A and B are shown apart, each in its own frame.
Chain A
């Protein structure tokens, strides 16, 4: 994607965020404290954000025409990692099976990044061992030492 286009999209998104923030401010209930109430500072921030976003949009549209591309190598891997992470968090929240899901996530991601079938069955065993050791470390530190329920 073009850097200029991506920047423009980001400024528009931030401008929209500023508008939503402003609407939330108007809907806010609470004591006014003579005008210096809970809405005062957020209103200053919203106004500043909207002005800066507009300035950014104008500068991007009217500014220098030279552009560059945003490089995102391994985009598919990034999306797969994000997807696997989201799935892990959701399943952990639903089922409570932290250790099993963590093992699957760690093991699965290592295979995604460097598949065992390219290196042999020993690598599969190595991934399983590393995942198990990591889980042991997390159990000792977080569950035992800190008393966290996993």
Chain B
């Protein structure tokens, strides 16, 4: 009988397909819900992985991770609230394109870039695991400090409308990052005696407050009776392959930056997405159109945050060091099955490693297929009028914050931060810089203090290593470029593009 000749490996392949599709759907859905994010998706799926084989367990989590990173951009684009922290950069141009042109188009760019970034990260993972991890080890605290400063200055100098306000926003963000317990000494800082602030301010509170509540007030202020899903005269609302090929440069840059930045522990999708956004703006022939629906401002951060997944896997597989908290959960899936990632992982488990590499490519393709199937559903959100959308987003935001730690303190904090952010945004303070500075602040402080302890308090340590000097040169170049651009705009030698022509 032919059935007795059934190749059982086919069943295993079908299991892999099923697991990856389930992870992709759940990851995308949870990633799209503001305030939940990648970690919630992974934590929810983690118990399911106990009874699976190591490969299936890891692929379930990786598919959810990839799809959640993309899913975060869906709410960024459709309702102006980042579903994940790393989708905040996508909001700047994604939501504007959705309002001015088409949500389908914006989501199309995001999905394609996420897929390209994910595949690039997978390729780097496969071919460059060992050498890339060794390079990352060469960076010391002085370089990590300068890398953090570079990130904030790059975004503040290139994106903020007003330099002083941009820098103030950055400092406010870093100040928010100092709240909690000092990691070196355990001293309480700026907690006001409250237990809720001992762990610092929850990033979900900040993101929901800064983006969600301000968007809600903005809808109430100006868009209650507007519908944004309108086609521009004679133009299709879909992104075509030709459209996407026009933005290959920022997509490539985002993929490269995302993979490289993702390797460094603590610097994952959030940092890489902002770095990429700034780089894309700098590379663009029309930087003044960023923030107004430029597709380059969508593809760069989206490629980066998915490429960062592959980057974060590199140190985990080759050194046993997770590149991000989310990858630490993935690593947990290996450890539960008695497998320890590290220097000997590849030589001791070659079949698992090859399965992981192939499966990781498949998770990216599955993310694209699932995303493509669900895009029409997502893009209908913008057909809903503001007076229906605002209360729904408000409740979703409140629940998103509450779901994180079931704390009313967090909900109140998000509300008041939202009110303050709405006012500051009207005065052109930079919320993106604020959020990035909040994320990078702890890394900057930790690296600075450790470097100074090593050097006995001398700042010369930042000028004695080649990598540090290169980073300082890059920082100065960005500041000089920004200053020259502003002088040119003031003297009128840099052309101002009409907003309607920008798209």
Contacts and interface: CB of A to CB of B under 8 A. Distances in A.
A18 to B, nearest CB: 9
Interface string A64-82: 0000001011110110011
A31 B225 CA distance: 57
B171 A113 contact: no
B234 interface: no
B103 to A, nearest CB: 20
A109 B391 contact: yes
B178 A45 contact: yes
Interface string B417-432: 0010001101101000
B175 interface: yes
B415 A86 contact: yes
Interface in A109-150: 109-110, 113-114, 130-131, 134, 138, 141-142, 145-146, 148-149
A40 B398 CA distance: 35
Contacts of A78: 217, 220-221
Interface stretch (B61-69, B161-169, B308-316): B161-169
B220 A77 contact: yes
Interface string A11-49: 000100000010010001111011111101110011011
B8 to A, nearest CB: 34
Given A35-B457, A36-B449, A93-B408, A41 B178 contact: yes
B403 A30 contact: no
Contact residue range for chain A?
35 or more
B491 interface: no
B419 A82 contact: yes
Interface string B387-423: 1101110111011001100101001100100010001
B82 interface: no
Given A3-B427, A86-B415, A113 B220 contact: yes
Given A42-B178, A45-B174, A30 B190 contact: no
Interface residues of B, number: 58
Contacts of B184: 33, 37-38
B398 A130 contact: no
B221 A105 contact: no
Given A36-B453, A36-B457, A149-B406, A29 B187 contact: yes
Given A31-B187, A78-B220, A110 B388 contact: yes
A145 B473 CA distance: 50
Interface in B22-54: 33, 40, 44
B231 interface: no
B489 interface: no
A109 B403 CA distance: 23
Interface centre among A3, A59, A113, A131 (most CB of B within 10 A): A113
Nearest to A56: B164
Contacts of B168: 14, 49, 52-53, 56
Interface centre among A53, A89, A149 (most CB of B within 10 A): A89
Given A105-B395, A109-B394, A81 B216 contact: yes
Contact of A138 (B186, B220, B395, B457): B395
A106 B392 contact: yes
B189 A42 contact: yes
Nearest to B182: A38
A141 B449 contact: no
A74 B391 contact: no
Interface in B359-410: 386-388, 390-392, 394-396, 398-399, 402-403, 406, 408
Given A82-B419, A110-B387, A74 B224 contact: yes
B172 interface: yes
B445 interface: yes
Given A42-B175, A93-B408, A148-B406, A34 B165 contact: no
Contacts of B396: 138
Given A37-B185, A86-B415, A106-B391, A141 B217 contact: no
Nearest to B40: A146
Given A35-B457, A85-B415, A141-B33, A52 B217 contact: no
B164 A70 contact: no
A138 B396 CA distance: 8
30 contacts: A10-B423, A10-B427, A28-B187, A30-B182, A30-B188, A33-B184, A36-B449, A42-B189, A45-B175, A48-B171, A49-B175, A56-B168, A74-B224, A75-B221, A78-B217, A81-B217, A81-B394, A89-B411, A89-B412, A102-B395, A105-B391, A106-B391, A113-B387, A134-B391, A134-B395, A138-B399, A142-B403, A148-B403, A148-B406, A149-B406
Interface of B: 33, 40, 44, 164-165, 167-168, 171-172, 174-175, 178, 182, 184-190, 216-217, 220-222, 224-225, 386-388, 390-392, 394-396, 398-399, 402-403, 406, 408, 411-412, 415, 419, 423-424, 426-427, 429, 444-445, 448-449, 452-453, 457
Given A24-B190, A89-B415, A134-B395, 12 more contacts: A14-B172, A33-B185, A34-B453, A35-B457, A41-B448, A46-B175, A53-B168, A89-B398, A105-B395, A138-B396, A138-B399, A146-B403
Interface of A: 3, 6-7, 10, 14, 21, 24, 28-31, 33-38, 40-42, 45-46, 48-49, 52-53, 55-56, 59, 70, 72-75, 77-78, 81-82, 85-86, 88-89, 92-93, 102, 105-106, 109-110, 113-114, 130-131, 134, 138, 141-142, 145-146, 148-149
